Structure 1
Amino acid sequence: MEKIAKLSEIEREEIFRNTAQRMKVHPAIIEKDFWVCYILNYLFKKSKWSKAFVFKGGTSLSKAYNLIQRFSEDIDLILDWRLLGYGDSEPWNDRTNTKQDLFNKEANERAFEFLKDVLLKELNEDIRRDLKDNIEFYISLDDKQTINFVYPQNFFNKSILQEIRLEFGALASWTPTEKALISSFVAEEYPQIFKKTTIEVPTVTANRTFWEKITILHKEANRNSGKFPLRYSRHYYDLYCLAKSNIKKEILQDKEMLSDVVKFKSKFYRSKWARYEDAKIGTIKLIPDSKYMRELESDYVKMQSMLYGEVPEFSEIMIMIKELEKEINTLK
């Protein structure tokens, strides 16, 4: 990994371009994927805080489990709340809704302070020392718990974000997790130029990620005002892929996981209009109000350049989601 990162721009450009030609995709995607894996390698193998992180979210479904064919846009990471001064189960203490909201704000502020004062400094110092290129890490203006990584760029594609977002969250569940092997597209196409082609990363299981995405869709299905969030069509695509995967049967048998996810979101991400109390077998809703469908479809069309392999039509995805909704609600 470090060997490729330390090559000259011209040498890296050739490797990324050749990999892109083999995979029949834009080289900017291969380049970004490499730097996603590079920063994961740093966080979990070199950072002094490596034991305090866990990999999660949609990118883990692609890089760790190969369950979706979607290129990496960001990296979702859990930050151990014990690092912020809380006890193992302290966030779970009984509180009134008002006090819980205050606790959540305090935890998020502590996470921001750690990222700003500790991790950001470490990243800028260590990565700049390792690389010849001009790079930068900075706190996102729209989310204080996100660090943006301005990675070395030889290629440009207007359809992808030209930065890697490291989205940290202290209020997230660590269980269940497992060790997963991750590799870049370059390592998969040219294993001979890597000393080690894979990285072992503690990762939230695909089962939990499935149910977390189900609750995201349930929340949006209950939306009755405001704009549909940007780039949210990825959750519908991800569930489409999971619904077609060979682990769907196993996932649907794990109904307790749905209860765990709902319990967690109800406490730490309380929302009256999300109707998490209905996010259970029999009353799950996955299809958004018809007034949002055009918006959602437009969002999906913009995202399609980030997909590879079989790219389903939007209508196919929504048919599958409707079938999945029915299947979940009729589970015994």
Structure 2
Amino acid sequence: MVIEEKMKNIVIRLQQDGADVLFIRSSLKEYLQSYVLNFVYENPKYSKSMVFSGGTCLRKVYGINRLSEDLDFDLLDPVDLNDFCTEIDAYFKKKHLFQGFSLNKRPNDQQITLKFKILDYLNLASGSESPLLHVKIDLSPNNSEHYKVETKLLNDFDFSYLVKHYDISTLFAGKILAILNRSRLWGAENMETIKGRDYFDLLWFLQKEIIPNYERLFDLARKESDVYGEMKDDSLVKSSLIKTLDEKVELANTKFKQDFERDLLPFISNSSIIEGFVDSYWENYSRLKGVLLGRK
């Protein structure tokens, strides 16, 4: 019951601080993420192949001021997902004695959903609500030779481990591509929407004056789009990417403004700042985007 009791203490502390249930659930996921990362990076079978990426990497390694829900890894070498699932199942059930654990791997897919039956015990699910808290693991092949990997010692809740992760410029390139390429549907009617957290991260990179890894950005853009594939001049690709990014940001602040705000709710401790953050977003983006052109 060690995991369950520690999660209960997290809930009590956050409730005393006035946190809403969405933020509490995200905080519990952040705690569980530490177990998954410890499993990956204490295992030589996976630590050499799996490069930590995405928003949770920004949170754990670089300290971005928002929570994150999924774990993203790029694979330098193939990983046997059946072995991975068997071993992480034993890790939670046998090593950490969490019997309310299960997982699901979709056929022919590289996404694994870890399921923790805990919300009923924590009084965070009632009635028809599911007692399961999900943590998703997304695995993707590394499709570009242009990247930089670093290693950092993380002191993460109950664990210390060496995590292999992309450097911040490579992560920025990945975030720009996610904004440009991500297609997301929401609700029963499958309405087009956005991930507001992507735009939150974009502004964070710009505020830090980070230059994206343009070699990687150009390489992957050309591989993923025939339009960019036909452009031989990097400067043309760059100007086109930034123009499209401008258009995406404008849509996020107009057509998808409510979606932008709603998506951030589970990940920001002080939800009262979200409306003001989104209202001022275009002004701040316009002021800072010169970083993308090498102007600070």
- Give the TM-score taking structure 1 as reference length: 0.68
Task: Write the mapping of 1:145-294 to structure 2, written as runs, cut at 5 A.
Answer: 145-154=110-119, 155=122, 156=124, 162-173=133-144, 175-184=147-156, 187=157, 194=158, 196=159, 198-219=160-181, 230-245=193-208, 248=209, 251-252=210-211, 257-267=213-223, 270-272=224-226, 277=231, 278-280=236-238, 284-285=242-243, 286-288=245-247, 293-294=253-254
Q: Which residue, out of 76, 82, 88, partners 1:123?
A: 88
In the alignment, which residue of structure 2 is the partner of 1:96?
none
Distance 1:288 1:46 in 2: 43
2:278 equivalent to 1:307: no
Following TM superposition, by how much is the alpha carbon of 1:302 offset from its aligned partner in structure 2, in angstroms? Answer: 1.5
- With over 3 angstroms needed to count, the CA separation of the structure-2 counterparts of 1:324 and 1:240, relative to structure 1, is same
Contiguous gaps of at least 5 residues in structure 1: 1-5, 84-110, 188-193, 221-226
Following TM superposition, by how much is the alpha carbon of 1:38 offset from its aligned partner in structure 2, in angstroms? Answer: 0.8
Deviations along 1:160-194, one digit per CA (max 9) or x if unpaired, are x931110001134573111124344xx3xxxxxx5
Distance 1:211 1:59 in 2: 16
In the alignment, which residue of structure 2 is the partner of 1:298?
258
- With over 3 angstroms needed to count, the CA separation of the structure-2 counterparts of 1:315 and 1:276, relative to structure 1, is farther
Distance 2:16 2:161 in 1: 23
Which protein is richer in strand relative to its size?
Answer: 2
In the alignment, which residue of structure 2 is the partner of 1:224?
none
Q: Secondary structure at the match of 2:269?
A: coil
Percent of matched pairs sharing the same residue? 20
2:15 equivalent to 1:7: no
Distance 2:263 2:166 in 1: 24
In the alignment, which residue of structure 1 is the partner of 2:103?
137
Stretch moving more, 307-316 or 36-45: 307-316
Q: Secondary structure at the match of 1:144?
A: coil
Following TM superposition, by how much is the alpha carbon of 1:32 offset from its aligned partner in structure 2, in angstroms? Answer: 1.3
Following TM superposition, by how much is the alpha carbon of 1:146 offset from its aligned partner in structure 2, in angstroms? Answer: 0.6
Number of residues paired by the alignment?
267
Q: Is the 8 A contact 1:228 1:295 kept in 2?
A: no
In the alignment, which residue of structure 2 is the partner of 1:106?
none
Q: Is the 8 A contact 1:228 1:292 kept in 2?
A: no
Deviations along 1:297-330, one digit per CA (max 9) or x if unpaired, are 2222222221135645213223222334344246
- Give the TM-score taking structure 2 as reference length: 0.75
Distance 1:259 1:236 in 2: 22
In the alignment, which residue of structure 2 is the partner of 1:55?
52
Q: Which residue, out of 73, 84, 92, partners 2:69?
A: 73
